[in-house]
């Protein structure tokens, strides 16, 4: 059975074979993940469609076309165990080689017996051959070859010889392209404000345990801000709009993108119809996205169709930043770290848990008055969240 690169979208034509989760010649079971692929939009796992033995046809890091065959599963076969070395240290006869390894060895002119295998039972894999003998070879005595000491560092050698150059992954390329496009193709401005999170923190502390028991999810900050943004978007619809050619498209629904940091880059899955969800529904949706990202099960459809986005740099300790638009959206809210600061309340200096807020917006369709009004409305809702919380 052939393992092919699946189609993941009309505009995606190739992918990066990121990592093999199984080794060449290893037994796999049906529905078991065998490899990870990356496109310019998403990272996903490919599962085995049958029980059998895996033969790897394409190495990690290779760029492969959609529909290309990257591996074969020989159904019904059992992975051969390599014999253990004799006690004298002289290796026994090498284990059987897979067709892919045998073919690659012939092309490269490498004798597989001289390469130390890292596969199951010491089998030589395609990766072992691709490394071109970088691993220590075995003498007849079974002792590893002696590696010469590295030469002393020449401080006069060119800097270029002391750098590592790796190609950008498809996802990182796409992120770079979109960030550059946001700068070049929009009239982006940012307005700032700050919010007192005292009442939100009190509500969370009061209801957290009951909320967890009742709904099975934690009550976080993000659901308050999603609710606040939805209500503010209803009052300032231009912030929920987008430019399409010479038209302004006003959305009468609220699909809120939530920026989540992943190992390979930032992704923005979309909570659809957030205005119809409760606090528990929003928190459950976010938790589901986080789990899907960790297990590479996030689908392309999860990233499409957003009308407004929220990014929380505060989880990394950011105190203040300028979020970048996620085209074609016209607005993005930046949340930041909560920090106790002295503020004036009723003529008195008091210490309150404060958060800086930033709204980046496309000035082509959103005026400064609307942007400032929107951000002030978000501030009001999170500073007096009881109404939102009771409704949600």
Q: Annotated catalytic sites, by residue?
A: 363, 367
- CA–CA gap between residue 89 and residue 141 (Å, rounded): 6
What is the rounded CA–CA span in Å between residue 374 and residue 61? 45
Q: What angle do CA 266, 187, 324 make, to 5 degrees?
A: 15
C-beta of residue 25 within 8 angstroms of C-beta of residue 123: yes
3-state percent helix, strand, coil for the chain, nearest multiple of 5? 30, 25, 40
Question: Phi and psi of 119, rounded to 5°?
Answer: -75, 180
Please state, in angstroms and rounded to a whole number, the distance separating the CA atoms of residues 292 and 310.
19
Whole-number Å distance between alpha carbons of 331 and 357: 13
Task: From 359, 381, 363, 385, select the one nearest 372 (Cα to Cα).
Answer: 359
Residue whose C-alpha is closest to residue 335's, from 229, 188, 216: 229
72 has which bridge partners? 2, 55
Handedness of CA 297, 313, 179, 360 (dihedral sign): positive
Structure letter (DSSP) for residue 248: E
Q: Which helix (H) or strand (E) holds 287?
A: helix 279-294
**Helix or strand (DSSP H, E) at 293:** helix 279-294
Q: How many residues does the chain have?
A: 392
CA dist 205 → 223, 267, 384 (Å): 15, 30, 15
Short-list 221, 204, 202, CA closest to 212: 204
Cis, peptide link before residue 49, omega less than 30° from 0: no
Sort 261 into a burial class: Cβ within 10 Å, 0-12 / 13-18 / 19+.
Answer: middle
Element (H, E) at 286: helix 279-294
């Amino acid at each position: 059975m052939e393992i092919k690169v699946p189609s993941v979208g009309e505009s995606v034509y190739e992918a990066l074979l990121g990592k093999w989760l199984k080794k060449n010649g290893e037994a796999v079971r049906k529905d078991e993940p065998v490899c990870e692929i990356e496109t310019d939009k998403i990272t996903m796992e490919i599962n085995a469609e049958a029980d059998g033995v895996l033969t790897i046809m394409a190495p990690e890091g290779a760029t492969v076309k959609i529909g290309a065959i990257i591996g074969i599963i020989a159904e019904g076969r059992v992975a051969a165990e390599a014999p253990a070395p004799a006690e004298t240290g002289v290796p026994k006869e090498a284990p059987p080689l897979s067709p892919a390894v045998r073919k690659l060895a012939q092309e490269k002119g490498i004798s597989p017996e001289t390469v130390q295998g890292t596969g199951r039972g010491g089998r030589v894999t395609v990766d072992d051959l691709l490394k071109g003998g970088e691993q220590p070879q075995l003498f007849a005595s079974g002792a590893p070859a002696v590696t010469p000491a590295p030469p002393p560092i020449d401080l006069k050698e060119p800097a270029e010889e002391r750098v590592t150059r790796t190609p950008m992954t498809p996802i990182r390329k796409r992120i770079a392209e979109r960030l550059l496009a946001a700068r070049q193709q929009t009239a982006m401005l940012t307005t700032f404000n700050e919010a007192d999170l005292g009442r939100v923190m009190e509500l969370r502390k009061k209801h957290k345990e009951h909320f967890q028991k009742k709904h099975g999810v934690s009550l976080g900050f993000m659901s308050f801000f999603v609710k606040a943004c939805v209500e503010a978007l209803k009052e300032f619809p231009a912030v929920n709009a987008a430019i399409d050619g010479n038209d302004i498209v006003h959305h009468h629904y609220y699909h809120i993108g939530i920026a989540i940091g992943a190992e390979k880059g930032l992704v923005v899955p979309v909570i659809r119809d957030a205005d119809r969800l409760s606090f528990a529904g929003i928190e459950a949706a976010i938790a589901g996205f986080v789990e899907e990202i960790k297990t590479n099960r996030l689908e392309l459809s999860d990233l499409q169709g957003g009308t407004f986005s929220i990014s929380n740099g505060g989880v990394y300790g950011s105190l203040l930043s300028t979020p970048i638009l996620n085209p074609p959206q016209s607005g993005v809210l930046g949340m930041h770290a909560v920090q106790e600061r002295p503020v004036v309340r009723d003529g008195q200096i008091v210490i309150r848990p404060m958060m800086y807020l930033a709204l980046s917006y496309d000035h082509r369709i959103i005026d400064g008055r609307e942007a400032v009004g929107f951000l002030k409305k978000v501030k009001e809702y999170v500073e007096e969240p009881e109404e939102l919380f009771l409704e949600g």
